[in-house]
């Protein structure tokens, strides 16, 4: 992987996005061509940030999609849990999420999706949220251009077991969404991602629009379903097939 003044994986492009007084980095892995553009997927990283594990997943997805990865928290390429937690505290994320409020990141991520993820032709795109950003995928799916969303191992924030970090308006919009399909993934014994999170999402959307995959594991420490040493290759293949079908022309 490339190591320069500004971190960027080999074969990716780095950009910056300004929202209010803040600037955020983002990365794009795009193997499409002007004559044959690939459908777009917005991939949101897990805690503590964009790591080598996330890059590996993005490169797998890049065989089928234009993958856009916003930097939400942490030091890109080498995130540390303590530093990322401090950033969340400074942004009052933990305070808001502990009260089952809407993450302070949702606003700028929606703006980012509108300006850098959505295709100017109006084509649909997909979103993937992992761990801390699992619920963000639902918040972004309010956008009618999102045809497929993946909610992977949503972590225990908000603290309330069934909390999804959605406003009343978001809930109403999701219930009225047409053309949206969602998949959820978690390990059965994952103590960091309560089963009640995905159950609450399925109750909100209905069984016809959301399918939950519970992966079997005797290990309570297994958490990340799509990345790292615990990655489930079957789940990754399923996500690729799901998004290919949802984003077909």
Predicted confidence at residue 75, as pLDDT, reads: 86
Under a CB-based contact definition with an 8 Å cutoff, are residues 182 and 138 in contact? yes
Choice among 2-11, 135-144, 160-169 with the minimum mean pLDDT = 2-11
Q: Map out the domains of the chain as residue ranges.
A: 15-246
CATH no., domain 15-246: 3.40.50.1820
How confident is the model over 115-153, as pLDDT tens digits? 989 976 789 999 999 998 999 999 999 999 999 999 999
Beta pairing partners, 70: 26
* pTM, two decimal places: 0.92
pLDDT at 26 over 90: yes
How confident is the model over 165-202, as pLDDT tens digits? 899 999 999 999 999 999 999 999 998 899 999 999 99
């Amino acid at each position: 992987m490339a190591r320069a003044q500004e971190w960027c994986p080999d074969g990716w492009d780095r950009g910056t996005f300004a929202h209010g007084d803040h600037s955020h980095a983002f990365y794009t892995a795009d193997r499409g061509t002007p004559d044959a553009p690939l459908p777009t997927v917005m991939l949101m990283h897990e805690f503590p940030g964009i790591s080598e594990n996330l890059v590996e997943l993005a490169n797998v997805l890049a065989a089928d999609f234009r993958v856009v990865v916003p930097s939400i928290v942490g030091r890109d390429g080498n995130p540390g849990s303590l530093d990322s937690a401090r950033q969340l505290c400074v942004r009052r994320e933990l305070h808001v999420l502990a009260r089952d409020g809407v993450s302070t990141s949702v606003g700028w991520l929606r703006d980012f999706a509108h300006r850098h993820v959505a295709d100017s032709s109006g084509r649909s795109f997909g979103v993937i949220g992992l761990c801390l950003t699992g619920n963000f995928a639902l918040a972004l799916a309010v956008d009618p251009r999102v045809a497929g969303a993946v909610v992977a191992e949503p972590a225990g924030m908000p603290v309330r077991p069934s909390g999804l970090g959605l406003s009343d308006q978001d809930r109403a919009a999701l219930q009225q969404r047409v053309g949206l399909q969602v998949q959820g993934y978690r390990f059965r014994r994952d103590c960091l991602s309560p089963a009640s999170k995905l159950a609450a999402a399925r109750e909100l959307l209905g069984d016809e629009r959301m399918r939950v995959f519970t992966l079997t594991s005797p290990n309570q420490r297994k958490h990340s379903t799509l990345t790292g040493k615990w990655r489930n290759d079957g789940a990754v293949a399923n996500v690729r097939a799901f998004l290919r079908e949802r984003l077909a022309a």
